[in-house]
Amino acid sequence: MPVLEVHLVEGLHTPAQHAELLVAMSTRYAELTEVPRDRVRAHVTLHRPELWANGGIPADGRSAPYFTAVVFTDRPAELRRRLLGALTDLLVDVLGVDRRLVHGEVIPVQPDNWAVGGVSAATPRRAFA
């Protein structure tokens, strides 16, 4: 179930930073949610500068990452808050961005609306064996 996505402006960060961020965010998500890291899916989506606006100004040269983290609806609010803070911290630390420009969202999903291998996540795990 665990899925992370980070939206960034192309050319503002290095491929090495992207890779470091993917590993760090996957690891932190796994630690906080207590799921095996190999279940976490993370990706960076790059946007051309002219297609990104901060404060209504396209291509202003500032990095203002936006991230999402998908979790099941039964996850407690406190865990979701910790996840938002931890992922923001990683973006600030790895990319060197201004914390005030980082926006993030936890997206709660009902297990009936999520599938792994075509099987609803509401189905007990033993069905995947």
- Domain boundaries, given as residue ranges, for the chain: 3-128
Q: Which of 22, 21, 26 is nearest to 40 (CA)?
A: 26
pLDDT band, residue 115 (cuts 50/70/90)? confident
Tens of pLDDT along 6-51? 999 999 999 999 999 999 999 999 999 999 999 999 999 999 999 9
Number of other CB atoms surrounding residue 87 within 10 Å? 25
Report the chain's terminal Cα–Cα distance, integer Å: 17
| Sign of the dihedral through C-alpha 13, 14, 18, 23 | negative
Single pTM value for the model: 0.88
pLDDT band, residue 122 (cuts 50/70/90)? confident
Distance CA 64, CA 103 (A): 7
Comparison of pLDDT for 70 and 115, the residue scoring more: 70
128 pLDDT exceeds 70?
Answer: no
In CATH terms, 3-128 corresponds, of 3.30.429.10, 3.30.565.10, 3.50.50.60, 3.90.700.10, to: 3.30.429.10
